Amino acid sequence: MTKPKEVTIYDLARKLNVSIATVSRALKDDPVVSKKTKKKIFDLAEEMGYRYNHFARNLREQRTYTIGVIVPRLNSYFMSTVIAGIESVANNEGYTLIISQSSESAGKEVDSAKTMFNNRVDGLLVSLAYETDDLSHFDQFKKKNVPLIFFDRVAEYPDCTSVLIDNRRGAYESTSHLIAQGCKRIVHITATPKRNVYVDRLAGYKQALADHHLPFEEKYILINNLSQEAGNQAAAAILQMNPLPDAVFAANDNVAVGCMLALKKAGIRIPQDIAFAGFNNDPVSTVVEPNLTTINYPGYKMGEMAAASLINHLNGVNSIDATNTILLRSELIIRASSLQTKSDSQ
Amino acid sequence: MTKPKEVTIYDLARKLNVSIATVSRALKDDPVVSKKTKKKIFDLAEEMGYRYNHFARNLREQRTYTIGVIVPRLNSYFMSTVIAGIESVANNEGYTLIISQSSESAGKEVDSAKTMFNNRVDGLLVSLAYETDDLSHFDQFKKKNVPLIFFDRVAEYPDCTSVLIDNRRGAYESTSHLIAQGCKRIVHITATPKRNVYVDRLAGYKQALADHHLPFEEKYILINNLSQEAGNQAAAAILQMNPLPDAVFAANDNVAVGCMLALKKAGIRIPQDIAFAGFNNDPVSTVVEPNLTTINYPGYKMGEMAAASLINHLNGVNSIDATNTILLRSELIIRASSLQTKSDSQ
DNA sequence: TGAATCAATGTAACCGATTACATTGTTTTT
DNA sequence: AAAAACAATGTAATCGGTTACATTGATTCA
């Protein structure tokens, strides 16, 4: 019932009458070992079912070949796509991932950071929780020179690369599109202004209004947690407004969909009465009726870029380290929820 | 630029003039060490910023305190919920996770298993890919006495616990409900009959037909990969049928939604012309119109159960080991997509 | 009071790799 | 032919914990 004994380089060395140093070198394909010896060693390793012991190496090298990933939640289409991107790069490079969810809570984010720290991750990829104010739980990493990269929900932190899209521009395009469709009273549903993504989207929205000589009105800004349920409540708030707004630009698709459903139930026609635009290009945007105009978000690419950048850094490739921000391209996808609301009859 | 030196138990021992054995024991709260000594050691550890080195322990103990998780995909609501459940239990018990996606490919599943094996996971949680036939990539774990638990998409494998719902019963209830609504020609959209979940749902569907004296017809079984796009194609197939079926029972919500959207576009009324029922209670089921009748699937609970069961096993708690299958409760959620299709006018 | 018991701590081997620094035998150079 | 250079391999210390077994000093018991 006990585990069978593991084969080690000592076993291989003994059988072949060579030293463990030679075996160790051969197994990592060190050119200093002769081809003939290498072949013998590889063959025997295969035959005896040798498996490499990462822990011995980690102990000796003081590295873990592990990357920590902290995300607000896993169960969104966007995040799981990002993770898939991270995973593909990390696996290729021989790194394993430790993934943890902060559940949008600053407290859990601190705990996650602690776990990552105690697991001695070689590097850290982070997308911040809604509620995180203070970044001091990352100081411990900085102190140990563990590189840290933020993606999507980023922050100003010394010597950190950020990978994200141009949220301001996406919001600007979206809002401008709504204006071009004839909308003048545009509600913006967003989340806590603690996070760059929401600050920037708000800024893009404002800029678009300004550039088209429309007034910015504080009452049109609705702040919540962007869940579908929050969209439902936002709809109630919107129905109280007089005059009714003629468009909604939401900071994600989820909340947009929740809001659309509730408004439809109240007899509002979309897009004729109120046009909609969301953000993320979540699959749900093609299910809701009418289909939701949105911003396509390159999640997989973002994961790949963040992981690649981190690993380059770990390998010392990133010598210049001038890259402080990596911006990925996003694009406006126009669907029925925002089309021709005022110019044409539908 | 190099990393500052780590504090070890040797440093603590030296400063306090005790042996490393005492320090080691104190840090794991061994009752054999006196309270006074413990306090000194804890305080100094705190003060000097000592961090525990997992690798030294793992090397010595021949364990990793790591659990491998192989899933078909992360980016479904269901799976990320399961993962969240697994994570909460694992974190609590001091285990870390290595998560890998097979992307529904048998080949990638084999690779993932290899990675897990080389990382020497203490245990493995698996939900099988569509295409996996052969389970021999798990033999290596069995040979090393690494416990393996399947969840949701399970298989017959010696000495393995499975955590799942009663798919047959869920399908039976769903189909019976459709029949009770007056439906007689019920299409079943499902995936490869290699996987238990689809075999069992098909069996439940057949049983319901039989119990209500309805004929089973092979042509009503549509097999695909259950994506939204596949639902779209299924709709095309359904439109070719003559007479038109009067209900669809789909093995997941995604494919149901894809199918509904396409049928609606073709002028079919739901539920009046064709009623719908899905499976999973994915959020999309409350977005599509009409809202989709479905089976609620306890993903978080499933993750918790699978992880707890595995860890019990690792701790030797699970001495009896009689539990071969853990069945979780699922429930039919009736929504507008299946209601009163034939009895009432709508 | 001497033996037995016990609480607290110490000693040292061990887990399985990596690698700086020797050592050996062979080839090239002058 | 002796010296220098080189290719291939070996020796041994090291990473930081765990734990079986030994030791020490104090307390209890008859």
Closest to A38 measured CA to CA, from A18, A53, A52? A18
Portion 108-137 of B in contact with A at CB < 8 A: 115, 117-120
What DSSP line would sit under B281-312, residue for residue?
Answer: --GGGGTSSSPPBEEE--HHHHHHHHHHHHHH
Tens-digit pLDDT profile for residues B303-343: 999 999 999 999 876 554 556 899 999 999 999 999 975 54
Give B59 CA → C14 C1' in Å: 10
Average pLDDT estimate for B119-128: 95
Residue B36: exposure state from Cβ atoms within 10 A (0-12, 13-18, ≥19): exposed
Cβ <8 Å between A100 and B115: no
| Residue type at A339 in one-letter notation | L
A73 CB below 7 A from strand C atoms: no
Average pLDDT estimate for A178-184: 96
Closest to B152 measured CA to CA, from B161, B142, B143? B161
Portion 307-336 of B in contact with A at CB < 8 A: none
Q: Which residues have CB under 8 Å from A230's CB, separation 6+?
A: A189, A224, A255, A258
Tens-digit pLDDT profile for residues A83-130: 999 999 998 898 989 888 899 999 999 999 998 998 899 999 999 999
Average pLDDT estimate for A29-51: 93
Per-residue pLDDT for A301 more than 50? yes
| The two structure tokens encoding residue A157 | 């932190």
| The two structure tokens encoding residue B113 | 């298993």
Taking the C-alpha atoms of residue A272 and residue A200, their distance in angstroms, rounded to an integer, is 28
Cβ <8 Å between A55 and B77: no
- Do residues B123 and B314 lie in contact, with contact meaning Cβ atoms separated by under 8 Å? yes
Lowest mean pLDDT among A2-16, A270-284, B47-61, B191-205: A2-16
| Residue type at B53 in one-letter notation | N
Give backbone dihedrals phi and psi of B340, rounded to 5 degrees, phi first: 50, 45
pLDDT for A168 equals 97
Residue pointed to by tokens 């853990």 = B326
Lowest mean pLDDT among A24-33, A188-197, A260-269, B313-322: B313-322
A210 CB below 7 A from strand C atoms: no
Portion 190-249 of A in contact with B at CB < 8 A: 228
Taking the C-alpha atoms of residue B148 and residue B126, their distance in angstroms, rounded to an integer, is 7
Whether the CB of A88 is below 8 Å from some CB of chain B: the reply is: no
Of B59, B100, B287, the CB nearest to A284: B287
Task: Label residues B76-85 b or e (16+ Cβ within 10 Å = b).
Answer: bbbbbbbbbb
pLDDT for A75 equals 81
Whether the CB of A144 is below 8 Å from some CB of chain B: the reply is: yes
Is pLDDT larger for residue A322 or for residue A334? A334
Q: Which residues have CB under 8 Å from A319's CB, separation 6+?
A: none
How far, in Å, are A29, B203, B300, B301, B304 from residue B328 at the CA level? Answer: 50, 18, 11, 8, 11
Tens-digit pLDDT profile for residues B135-160: 999 999 998 889 999 999 999 998 89
Residue numbers in B near A93 (CB within 8 A): none
Local confidence band at A54 (pLDDT 50, 70, 90 cut-offs): very high
User: What number of other Cβ atoms are within 10 A of residue B139's Cβ?
Assistant: 13
User: What number of other Cβ atoms are within 10 A of residue B274's Cβ?
Assistant: 26
**B85: three-class secondary structure by DSSP:** helix
Rg over CA atoms, chain A: 26
Cis peptide before A31 (omega within 30 of 0): no
Taking the C-alpha atoms of residue A55 and residue B58, their distance in angstroms, rounded to an integer, is 7
Q: What residue is closest to D6 (Cα–C1')?
A: A32
Closest to A285 measured CA to CA, from A252, A248, A253, A330? A253
| The two structure tokens encoding residue B55 | 């690798």
pLDDT for A2 equals 43
Per-residue pLDDT for B213 more than 50? yes
Q: Which residues pair with A126 in a beta bridge?
A: A70, A150
Give B144 CA → D17 C1' in Å: 24
Q: Which residues have CB under 8 Å from A51's CB, separation 6+?
A: A6, A7, B117, B118, B120
Tens-digit pLDDT profile for residues A94-107: 898 988 889 999 99
How many Cα atoms are found within 13 Å in the side-chain-facing hemisphere of A226? Answer: 20
How many Cα atoms are found within 13 Å in the side-chain-facing hemisphere of A269? Answer: 7
Give B15 CA → D22 C1' in Å: 24
Q: How far is A79 from chain B (nearest CA, A)?
A: 8
Closest to A154 measured CA to CA, from A146, A145, A165? A165
Of B3, B54, B289, the CB nearest to A119: B54
Locate all alpha helices (DSSP H) within B153-220, ordered by sequence: 167-180, 196-211
Residue numbers in A near B288 (CB within 8 A): 287
Per-residue pLDDT for A322 more than 70? no
Is pLDDT larger for residue B291 or for residue B318? B291
Furthest-apart CA pair in chain B: how many Å?
Answer: 89
Cβ <8 Å between A100 and B91: yes
Residue pointed to by tokens 């006495």 = B145
Give A30 CA → C2 C1' in Å: 68
Give backbone dihedrals phi and psi of A165, rounded to 5 degrees, phi first: -100, 170
Per-residue pLDDT for B100 more than 60? yes
Locate all alpha helices (DSSP H) within chain A, ordered by sequence: 9-16, 20-27, 35-48, 54-61, 77-92, 106-118, 139-143, 167-180, 196-211, 228-240, 253-265, 299-314
pLDDT for B321 equals 59
- Do residues B305 and B329 lie in contact, with contact meaning Cβ atoms separated by under 8 Å? no
Closest to A209 measured CA to CA, from A172, A262, A154, A246? A172
- Do residues B150 and B163 lie in contact, with contact meaning Cβ atoms separated by under 8 Å? yes
Terminal CA-to-CA distance of chain A, rounded, Å? Answer: 73
User: What number of other Cβ atoms are within 10 A of residue A179's Cβ?
Assistant: 18
What DSSP line would sit under B144-163, residue for residue?
Answer: TT--EEEESS----TT-EEE
Closest to A73 measured CA to CA, from A103, A95, A43, A31? A103
Instruction: Please name the residue of chain B whose CA is at the shortest distance from the CA of residue A111.
Output: B91
Taking the C-alpha atoms of residue B340 and residue A178, their distance in angstroms, rounded to an integer, is 40
A59 CB below 7 A from strand C atoms: yes
What DSSP line would sit under A77-120, residue for residue?
Answer: HHHHHHHHHHHHHHHHTT-EEEEEE-TT-HHHHHHHHHHHHHTT
Cβ <8 Å between A75 and B84: yes
Closest to B162 measured CA to CA, from B301, B68, B297, B302? B302
Contacts 24+ apart (CB under 8 A), B212-219: B212/B176, B212/B179, B214/B179, B214/B184, B214/B186, B217/B185
Q: What percent of chain A has pLDDT over 70?
A: 95
How far, in Å, are A49, A150, A185, A273 from residue A242 at the CA level? Answer: 75, 41, 11, 13
Per-residue pLDDT for B345 more than 50? no
Please report which helix (H) or strand (E) contains residue B238, including its range: helix B228-240
pLDDT for A5 equals 77
Please report the domains of chain B, with CATH numbers, ordered by start residue: 9-52 (1.10.260.40), 64-165+298-329 (3.40.50.2300), 167-297+332-338 (3.40.50.2300)
Q: What residue is closest to C6 (Cα–C1')?
A: B32
Residue pointed to by tokens 């798919």 = B167
Residue A98: exposure state from Cβ atoms within 10 A (0-12, 13-18, ≥19): buried
Instruction: Please name the residue of chain A whose CA is at the shortest distance from the CA of residue B96.
Output: A98
Closest to B302 measured CA to CA, from B178, B126, B159, B184? B126
Tens-digit pLDDT profile for residues A185-219: 999 999 999 999 999 999 999 999 999 999 999 99
Cβ <8 Å between A288 and B283: no
**B25: three-class secondary structure by DSSP:** helix
- Under 8 Å CB pairs connecting chains A and B tally to 113
Give backbone dihedrals phi and psi of A305, rounded to 5 degrees, phi first: -65, -45
